[in-house]
Amino acid sequence: MREGWDDEQLLAALRESLTAREAVPSWFVETGKNAYAWHNIDAELAQLTYDSSHDRNRAAVMRSEAASIRALTFTSARLSIELEVIEGRLLGQIIPPQAGTLETHTTTGVTTSPIDEIGAFVVDPKPASPFRLRFRAADGTDVLTGWITL
Amino acid sequence: MRDDPTVVALVTRAAGSDPGAWNEIVERYAPLLWSICTRFQLSTSDREDVAQNVWLLLVEQLGRLREPAALPGWLATTTHRECLRVVTAARKSEQGGTRQDDALLQFADDTVIEEEILMAERNAALRAAFAELPPRCQQLLAMLLSDPPHSYAAISATLDIPIGSIGPQRARCLERMRRSTALATLGEGEMKIDIPGGERRA
């Protein structure tokens, strides 16, 4: 440390640092610690490649009929997952179409939904934010989206 | 303090598979996230939302942070963005989808963010230096810092030291802190930020 602080300043700075730490509730810290459970998950990551809420031109054109529908697309090397939020439900489609299982992971747990032969699925009601989806198929396909906040 | 070896080591270990290192990162920077949420006056549930998103994003980025030493900056910037998102979403639902308020722009002031990062680094270094002190020093300084302050008589009775040696011991403990490696990395930037209530007592 440079020759900067005298004893009083150092004490005051120390007080400030300890007070800042004490102000933080333990649940807030636990939230951060729990996130590590997602480290090194062995699935292929699907990136968000389209989000209607980021697409202002489209929103301007379609404002009258479609402004309330949120559409998202996640893409990985082998497939994409298309999502729409309609009337409180999450409707999805795996492309190219294939059957499998969809896991909806929230910060409090996991639910599963079936995916039919044409790759369609419904999560009803839409999950609490943030959540992420994991698509698994019998052939070993395992694709995980990033965290989604609706 | 841009190249704090502690932060680089923690990020590297957490990017491997070391929950202890991750927990240390969270303990170290949770106050930074909290103070930014406080500046945005977020509700409890919004704070939880922001914290979840920021830490989950970091878990995904761990192996990809180009400069681990820049972690505090990444955290501050990401927390700001997440706070802006929840504030904007709340306003949209209140006002039926109007444009972003000009008032929100004050939150994005780079100088403020930079100060928050420096303050977080300084506080983390001070807490680390404090944690390295021998228990006797920690007890003494904690009693001196308590609010309301303990009298020298109470400190003398609790810690079983003569009143006359409290002053010298305090000076020795502070000198020890000053020489610690944790504080050695503090740069001029961190030192320059005002210490709240840090003006000399009469």
Within an 8 Å CB–CB cutoff, is residue B57 touching chain A? yes
pLDDT in tens, A91-122: 999 999 999 999 999 888 899 999 999 999 99
Residues of A within 8 A of B177 (CB-CB) are 10, 14
Q: Which residue of B has its CA nearest to A1?
A: B184
How much is the pLDDT for A150? 82
User: What distance in Å separates residue B15's CA from the closest CA in chain A?
Assistant: 8
- Decide: B83 and B52 in contact? Cβ < 8 Å: no
Measured CA to CA in angstroms, residue B2 lies from B68, B118, B147, B169, B187 at distances of 10, 10, 33, 33, 9
> If you average pLDDT over residues A69-88, what whole number do you get?
92
B67 touches chain A (CB under 8 A): no
Residue B201 pLDDT exceeds 50:
no
Chain B hits for A106, CB-CB cut-off 8 Å, are none
* Helix (H), strand (E) at residue A92: strand A89-95
**Cα–Cα distance, A138 to A46 (Å, whole number):** 18
CB contact under 8 Å between B26 and A11, yes or no, is no
**pLDDT tier, A40 (very low <50, low <70, confident <90, very high otherwise):** confident
* Over residues B154-172, mean pLDDT: 95
Instruction: Supply the pLDDT for residue B197.
Output: 55
pLDDT at position A55 is: 63
Taking only the tens place, the pLDDT of each residue in B109-147 is 778 888 999 999 999 999 999 999 999 999 999 999 998
Which residues in chain B have Cβ-Cβ distances shorter than 8 Å to A2?
Answer: 186, 188, 191
| pLDDT one-digit tens code per residue, B175-196 | 999 999 888 878 777 777 777 6
Q: Which residue of A has its CA nearest to B197?
A: A12
Mean of pLDDT values over A136-141:
92
- Per-residue pLDDT, A98: 94
Would the pTM count as exceeding 0.95?
no
Q: What is the pLDDT of residue B54?
A: 94
Residue A69 has pLDDT above 70, yes or no: yes
**Cβ contact (<8 Å) for B52 and A35?**
yes
pLDDT score for B97? 47
Tell me the chain B residues in contact with residue A66 when contact means C-beta distances shorter than 8 Å: none
The verdict on a CB contact (< 8 Å) between B195 and A28 is no
**Are the beta carbons of B41 and B47 closer than 8 angstroms?**
no
Query: How close does chain B come to A146, measured CA to CA in Å?
Result: 9
- What pLDDT does residue A108 have? 82
* Chain A nearest CA to B106, separation (Å): 22
Please check whether residue B198 touches A, CB under 8 A.
yes
Least confident of A14-23, A47-56, A86-95: A47-56
Which of helix, strand or coil describes residue B44? helix
Instruction: Provide, rounded to the nearest whole percent, the portion of chain B with pLDDT above 70.
Output: 87
Write the ipTM.
0.85
Contact partners, residue A30, CB within 8 Å, separation at least 6: none
For residue A47, the model assigns a pLDDT of 83
Given CB atoms, is B170 within the 8 Å cutoff of chain A?
A: yes
Band (A65; pLDDT cuts 50, 70, 90): very low
B4 contact A CB<8A: no
CB nearest to A13's CB, from B26, B59, B198:
B198
Question: How close, in Å, is residue B103 to chain A by CA atoms?
Answer: 22
Predicted pLDDT of residue B200: 42
The 10s digit of each residue's pLDDT in B55-107 is 999 998 898 888 888 899 999 999 999 999 888 877 766 665 444 555 566 66
3-class SS of residue B119: helix
- Residue A11 to residue B145, Cβ atoms within 8 A: yes
**pLDDT band at A52, cuts 50/70/90?**
confident
Q: Is the dihedral of CA B38, B105, B108, B81 positive or negative?
A: positive
For chains A and B, what is the number of CB pairs under 8 angstroms?
Answer: 131
Window B:17-56, CB contacts with A under 8 Å: 17, 19, 22-23, 26-27, 30-31, 33-35, 38, 47-49, 51-53, 55-56
Which of chain A's residues have a Cβ under 8 Å away from the Cβ of B128?
Answer: none
Nearest to B81 by CA among B40, B138, B30, B133: B40
pLDDT at A59 over 90: no
Helix (H, G, I), strand (E, B) or coil at B37: helix
Pair of tokens at residue B116: 């928050």
